[in-house]
Structure 1
Amino acid sequence: MDGDGGGGKRRRTGSVSSNGNDDNNYNIDASLLEALEKSSQSNIEVLDQRTLKKLVLSFERRLKENIEARLKYPDHPEKFAETEVDLHEELEKLKVLAGGPDLYPDLVNLNTIPSILGLLSHDNSDIANDVVQLLQDLTDEDVLEDSDEPARVLVDSLIENNVLELLVQNLQRLSDSDPDDMTAVYNTLATIENLIEVKPSVAELVCEKTKLLRWLLGKIKIREFDSNKQYASEILAILLQNSTANQKRLGQMNGVDVLLQAVATYKSKDPKSSDEEEMLENLFDSLCCLLMPLENKERFVKAEGVELMIIIMKQKKSAYGSAIRALDFAMTKYPPACERFVDVLGLKTAFAAFMGKIPMSKKNKKERYQEDLEERVISLIASLFGGILRGTRRERLLSKFVENECEKIDRLMELYMRYSDRVTTEAERMNNLELDDLEMDEEEKYNRKLESGLYTLQLIAVILGHLWCSEHSQMKARIELLLKQQKLTKKDVKDILQEYHDNIGDLDGPDEKERAQGRIQKFISAF
C-alpha cells in the first residue's frame, strides 16, 4: 500500500493554541523534533523501564493539567490552549516507545492505555489525530516484526479498552477536505490493518463491533479518486478475504451493488495512475470475496453483474481480466449465473478469451497475467458445463466446440499438453528433491502439483469429459485424433480424472462430495 495520503503530517499549530503565537508553536515543534532525533540517534539502551516510567508520568501529569484547565475555563480556550500544546508534546515523546516494543507489556501494566485512548474523543481534533499517529507508530509492522508476544499484549489491551470503537468513531468525524484529517484517516486505517496483522480475529471483531464496513462503503461510493479511497478499498479486501461472516454482512448492506457501481466507472476507461490501478484491483478482490456466499451470487445476478462484466470484457480496457475473474467466482457452483451468462450472449466473449484473443497492453503482455487469464477462462468454462446440464443452453455451449472445424477442441488439447508437461516437470523436480533427503508427504506433493498447474489440467480433463459424454461423434473423433497425435491414450485422461476424483474434499458437506465424485466417475467410465 502506497501511503501518499499519510506521509509527513503537517500540523495546524494555530488550532492547538488560540493565542495566535504560531512562531512560538513552530519553535516548540522544531525543538521537539530535534530532541526526538537526538534520542533516536543515541544508544537504544537509554530506552528502559525507568525511561518508560518517566515518559508515562510526564504524560499523565500533562493530561491531568489539560482536563482541569478545560473544566475550569470551558468558555475560554486561550486559558487551556497552553496545556494542549504541552499534551501534544507528551504524545510526540511517547512515539519513542516504538523503538522498544519489548517494553509494551510494561506500558500496559502502568495502565496508560486507557488514558491514551481516552484522547481519541478529545474536543481538540489535533490531539485525537496525535493519538492515531502514536497508535500507528506503536503497531507498525516493521516495529513489531520480531516482537510477537509484546505485540499481542499491547493489541489485547488496546482491544479491551475499546480501541476499535474509538478509532471508527474518530473516522466518522473526520473531513475529506482537510489535509490533517485526510492524514488521520490514513493513519487510522493503517492502525486497523496493523491490529489485524498481529491478531487476525480483529478483522471480524471490528466489523461486528463498529460501523467500519458502512464507512468503507461510503468512501468507495465517492467518484473522485484519492489515496484514502485507495486505502479504503485495500482494507475492505483484507476484511473480506478470509471471513464468511464479513462477506455475508457486507452483502446485507447492499455491498454487491456498491462495488458493481464502483467498478462500472472503469468499464470504458482505464485508471489514470498505478495507485488508481491498484485501487481497481482491490475493488475486484473485494467483489470476488463477496461472491463466495451463495446469497451474494444471487444479489450479483439480480444487480445485472453478469451483464456488466461482459460489457467490461467487450470494452477491452485494463479491467478485462478482473471481469473474467469476477464471473468465474459468480458462476462457480451457481447455475443461475451460468444460465444468465448464456442468455446475455456471454459465450462469444468468453470463447474469444479462451482462444487467446485478449486485448494487449503493457500490463497484460506479462506472461503471468496471460496465464492467470487462461486459467480463469478454463475455470469459467468448466463452471458453465457444471451449471448448464441440459436444454438449449447446453446445446449452445457444446456447439461452440464444433464450429470452425472443432478449433476449440484443438485449443483445449494444446492447453492440455502445456499443463501436462508443466505438472510432469514439477513431479520430476520433487523426485530429485527427495533424493537430496528433503522428503515430502503425499499431501504436500499433491499441493505442489496443484500449484504447478495440476488443478487447471484437471479442469481441462473435466471439460473433455463433458464433451466426450455428449455423444457427439465429430467431437469424439477429434479428441481421439488429437490424443493419438500427441501419443496419448484415453487412459491418460482417465488417470487425471481419477486423481481429481480421489482428492475431492468435503468442504461443502459429505452429500455434495458424493455428488461431485459421482459426476467425475461418470466421465472415467465413459472414457
Structure 2
Amino acid sequence: MDIGKILDFAPDTELRGENPFERTEIDRQKKAYGEPNSKKSKLALPAYMESVSDGVRMTEAEMEERRQELLAKAEIDNGEQEDMDEAATRKLFLLFDKRMKKNQDQRIKYAQKPEKYMNSEMDLYAHLHEIKQLATQPHLYPLFWDEDINSGLTLVNLISLSWHENSDIAAMARALTMIETLYDLLDQEEEENEEICKVLYQKYMEHDVLSVAVGTLKRMDETKNEEMEAAFKSIGLLESIIEGSDDQDIITKVANSGNFLIWLLERVRRRTINMVKVYAAEMLSVLLQGSEENQKIIGEKKGVDILLKQLAYFKKRNPKGQEEIELMENLFDALCSVVQGLYPPNRKKFLEDEGLHLMNLMIREKKMSRNSALKVINHVVSGYEGGDNSVKYVEILGLKTLFPLFMKTPKRNKKTGHTENDHEEAIVSIIGNLMRNLSGSLKRRLVDKFVELDHAKSERLLELHFKYAEKMEAAEEEVEQQAAILAQEGVEMDDDMAYALRLEKGLFTLQQIDYIIVELYGSGIESLRERIISHLSMRKSSLKQIREVVKDYADNLGDGENQEAIEQERNRLLELAMGLM
C-alpha cells in the first residue's frame, strides 16, 4: 500500500447545521427543544406530521392546530411533571396498548387514506413521550413486563414500534423515540436499581433489542440533528447492554447483531466528523479489545487500512476541541486492540499497510498524536509475533526517532492526559521489545546507541533505573497501607493483589529498564560494563538490585498459549540475571 495515499486522507469536517464539537449533548437538546419547562419549550414533531404519504400537504394553520393538539395530549406544559405512581403507570400502559392497536387497525382499514389514521398516529406518538418520564422512576420498570398488564407484553410492544408498517419518516420518528426511551431507561447508575436493570437487560436480550438498535442506526440520516441524536443514543443503548450484562459472550453477541461491528467500521470510515463518529470509534475499540473473533472480522474487512487512513489526518494536525481529541484517542485505541496479537495476521497487515511509517512520521511531527503513536509501536513490536515489525522499525530508521524521546521526556499533555510516566513506560518497553526480538547486526545497531556520545544513553538509562527504584520504595508503603485497610474490612491482600498494585505504581517500567541493563551488560562490550558498574557505585548501589528485579520479572512472566516460548524466555532472563557478577 502507498503511504502517500494514507497521508493524503482528510475527513470532511464541514457539517450541515450546528457543529456538534461546539456544543455538549445537553446544549444540543436545549437548542432543539428549548429550555426544559420553559414557555418556549416545544415537543419536536416528527417529519411525517408535516406531510402525508400521498403527497397532500398540510397548511400552516393545520400544522399549528395539530401541534397544539399534540402538546395538549402529551401534557407537556409549564411546570414540572409529577412522578407517576403504580396505578397511573398501569393506566398509561393499558392506554398505550389500546392506542397502538387502534393505529394498527386503522392502518389496515384505511391503507390508501393516510389522513384517516393520522390522528391515531399523533396519539401514539404523544403517548411515547408520556412513557419517557418513567426513565427517572426505575422502581416502576417491572410494570413493563407485568403479566397483569397487557399480558406482560408492554415492553415487547414498545420494541415492536421500531418495525412499524410505515416505511417513511413516520416510522423513523417512532423508532428513534423508542430508542431514546430505552436509552434513558438504561442510563441508571444507582446501586439500588442494579437488580431491576439486570432483569431489563435480560428482557432486551430475549426480544432482540440489539437488532432493533442496529436497524435504527442503519436508517439514520445524520444531516438531521434529531436523527443524529437518535444514532448516538442507539450506540449508547448497546454500550449500556454490554456494561450491564453478566453474559461473558455479550461482546460477541453485540458485535454480530445486525453486523454492528461492520457498521461501526463503515461509520468510522466516513469522512464526516460528528458525535456519532466519535462514539462509533469508541465502541469499535470496546468490541475489539480481547476478542480474537472480532479482531479477525475487522482485519478481513481491511480495518487496519481504514484506521490508518483515519489517523493520518492527525499526522500534521492537532485535533480541534475535546471531541476531536476523543475521536483520535478512540481510533488509536481501536488500532491498538486490532494489532494486539490475538489475531497475528493483523500485525502483518499493519506492516504491509505502512503502519510503522505512519507512526514514525507522527512521532517526528511532535503533534498531539505522538504519545499514542508510541503506544501503537509498542503493541506491534511486543511479544513473540513482534519480530517482523521490530526488524522493519530499525530498517526505517525508527531508532533515530525514538532515542531523542528517550533522552528527554516531554511534559505531561493536559489535553490528552498522557503523563511523563506513560511516555517513559512506552519508550523503555519499545526498547526492551526490540532487544528481545532483534538479532545479529540489527541488535548490534540498537546496542551501539548506548555506546555512542560517550555512553550518554547508558547514563540516561541508569538515571531512569534510580528514578523508578525510588518509586517502588514509595509503592511498598502504599501496598502496606492498602493491606491494612483491607485487613480492617476482613480481607487479606494476597500476593497477586500486591503484585498488581506494584505494577500499577511503576514496577513494569523498572523491570523493562533493568532488563535492558542486563542485555547491555551481557553484550560483550567492556566499556558498557565499566560505565554501568561505575554509575551504580557512585549511587552506592550494585548489580545485585538489578539482578533481583530481573529474576522477579522472569518468575512472573505468567501463563499463555505458547508455554514453551514463555519457558524459554524465562530461562533466558534468569541466565542474563545470573551473568551480573
TM-score bracket, normalised by the shorter chain, equals over 0.9
What secondary structure sits across from 1:146 in the alignment?
Answer: helix
Contact 1:139 1:191 in 2 (8 A): yes
Contact 1:16 1:126 in 2 (8 A): no
- Following superposition of structure 1 onto structure 2, how do residues 127-206 of structure 1 map, counting pairs within 5 Å? 127-142=174-189, 145-199=191-245, 201-206=249-254
Residue of 396, 401, 408 corresponding to 1:356: 408
Match of 1:279?
Answer: 327
Q: In 2, Cα distance between the equivalents of 1:274 and 1:383?
A: 33
**CA positional deviation for 1:277:** 0.9
Q: In 1, Cα distance between the equivalents of 2:480 and 2:47?
A: 69
Q: Residue 393 and residue 227 in structure 1: after superposition, are their counterparts in 2 closer, same or farther (change >3 A)? A: same
Contact 1:434 1:440 in 2 (8 A): yes
Residue of 23, 43, 51 corresponding to 2:64: 23
Contact 2:413 2:419 in 1 (8 A): no
Q: In 1, Cα distance between the equivalents of 2:514 and 2:116?
A: 79
Contact 2:74 2:130 in 1 (8 A): no
Tell me the alpha carbon deviations over residues 185-223 of structure 1, each in whole angstroms, 9 at most, x when there is no partner: 111111111111211643221112321122111221122
Which stretch of the first structure deviates more once superposed, 231-240 or 355-364?
Answer: 355-364
Match of 2:138?
Answer: 101
Match of 1:7?
Answer: 29
Q: Residue 258 and residue 146 in structure 1: after superposition, are their counterparts in 2 closer, same or farther (change >3 A)? A: farther
Residue of 422, 427, 432 corresponding to 2:476: 427
Q: Normalized per residue, which structure has more helix? A: 1
Q: Residue 203 and residue 6 in structure 1: after superposition, are their counterparts in 2 closer, same or farther (change >3 A)? A: farther
Structure 1: gaps of 5 or more residues: none
Q: In 2, Cα distance between the equivalents of 1:307 and 1:443?
A: 39
What secondary structure sits across from 1:224 in the alignment?
Answer: coil
- Following superposition of structure 1 onto structure 2, how do residues 373-392 of structure 1 map, counting pairs within 5 Å? 373-388=423-438, 390-392=439-441
Tell me the alpha carbon deviations over residues 421-442 of structure 1, each in whole angstroms, 9 at most, x when there is no partner: 0001111333355567555222
Match of 2:284?
Answer: 236
**CA positional deviation for 1:377:** 0.6
Residue of 494, 497, 507 corresponding to 2:550: 497
**CA positional deviation for 1:306:** 0.6
- For 2:570, the aligned partner's letter is Q
Identical residues among aligned pairs (%)? 30
Match of 1:126?
Answer: 173
Which stretch of the first structure deviates more once superposed, 407-416 or 114-123?
Answer: 114-123
- For 1:77, the aligned partner's letter is P
> Size of the alignment, in residue pairs?
519
Contact 2:47 2:173 in 1 (8 A): no
Which stretch of the first structure deviates more once superposed, 508-517 or 406-415?
Answer: 508-517
Residue of 398, 409, 419 corresponding to 1:369: 419
The TM-score with structure 1 as length reference comes to 0.93
1:52 corresponds to 2:102:
no
**CA positional deviation for 1:361:** 6.6
Contact 2:255 2:294 in 1 (8 A): yes
Structure 2: gaps of 5 or more residues: 1-20, 34-43, 52-57, 147-151
Match of 1:345?
Answer: 397
- For 1:23, the aligned partner's letter is E
Match of 2:7?
Answer: none
Match of 2:345?
Answer: 295
Match of 1:248?
Answer: 296
Q: In 2, Cα distance between the equivalents of 1:74 and 1:466?
A: 80
Q: In 2, Cα distance between the equivalents of 1:6 and 1:509?
A: 51
Q: In 2, Cα distance between the equivalents of 1:121 and 1:84?
A: 14
Q: In 2, Cα distance between the equivalents of 1:160 and 1:17?
A: 36
Match of 2:516?
Answer: 463
The TM-score with structure 2 as length reference comes to 0.84
What secondary structure sits across from 2:390 in the alignment?
Answer: helix
Q: Residue 524 and residue 357 in structure 1: after superposition, are their counterparts in 2 closer, same or farther (change >3 A)? A: closer
**CA positional deviation for 1:235:** 1.6
Match of 2:537?
Answer: 484
- For 1:62, the aligned partner's letter is R
- For 2:68, the aligned partner's letter is N
Residue of 117, 126, 136 corresponding to 2:159: 117
Match of 1:213?
Answer: 261
Q: Residue 383 and residue 118 in structure 1: after superposition, are their counterparts in 2 closer, same or farther (change >3 A)? A: same
**CA positional deviation for 1:146:** 3.0
Q: In 1, Cα distance between the equivalents of 2:26 and 2:313?
A: 23
Q: In 1, Cα distance between the equivalents of 2:477 and 2:218?
A: 57
What secondary structure sits across from 2:349 in the alignment?
Answer: helix
Q: In 2, Cα distance between the equivalents of 1:32 and 1:511?
A: 71
Q: In 2, Cα distance between the equivalents of 1:435 and 1:253?
A: 51
Tell me the alpha carbon deviations over residues 207-259 of structure 1, each in whole angstroms, 9 at most, x when there is no partner: 12321122111221122321211111122122223433322222222111111
Contact 1:413 1:482 in 2 (8 A): yes
Q: In 1, Cα distance between the equivalents of 2:238 and 2:78?
A: 27
Tell me the alpha carbon deviations over residues 289-315 of structure 1, each in whole angstroms, 9 at most, x when there is no partner: 111122211111111101110011111
Contact 1:314 1:349 in 2 (8 A): yes
Contact 2:339 2:380 in 1 (8 A): yes
Which stretch of the first structure deviates more once superposed, 240-249 or 378-387?
Answer: 240-249
Q: In 2, Cα distance between the equivalents of 1:24 and 1:479?
A: 86
**CA positional deviation for 1:174:** 1.2
Contact 1:155 1:198 in 2 (8 A): yes
- For 2:217, the aligned partner's letter is L
**CA positional deviation for 1:3:** 3.5
- For 1:325, the aligned partner's letter is K
Q: In 2, Cα distance between the equivalents of 1:512 and 1:459?
A: 19
Q: In 2, Cα distance between the equivalents of 1:429 and 1:173?
A: 53
Q: Residue 65 and residue 286 in structure 1: after superposition, are their counterparts in 2 closer, same or farther (change >3 A)? A: same
Match of 2:560?
Answer: 507
What secondary structure sits across from 1:271 in the alignment?
Answer: coil
Q: Residue 289 and residue 498 in structure 1: after superposition, are their counterparts in 2 closer, same or farther (change >3 A)? A: same
Q: Residue 177 and residue 383 in structure 1: after superposition, are their counterparts in 2 closer, same or farther (change >3 A)? A: same
Tell me the alpha carbon deviations over residues 38-60 of structure 1, each in whole angstroms, 9 at most, x when there is no partner: 674x3x5x422x33321211111
Contact 1:352 1:358 in 2 (8 A): no
Please provide the CA RMSD for this pair.
2.3
Q: Residue 14 and residue 489 in structure 1: after superposition, are their counterparts in 2 closer, same or farther (change >3 A)? A: closer
Match of 1:406?
Answer: 455
Match of 1:336?
Answer: 388
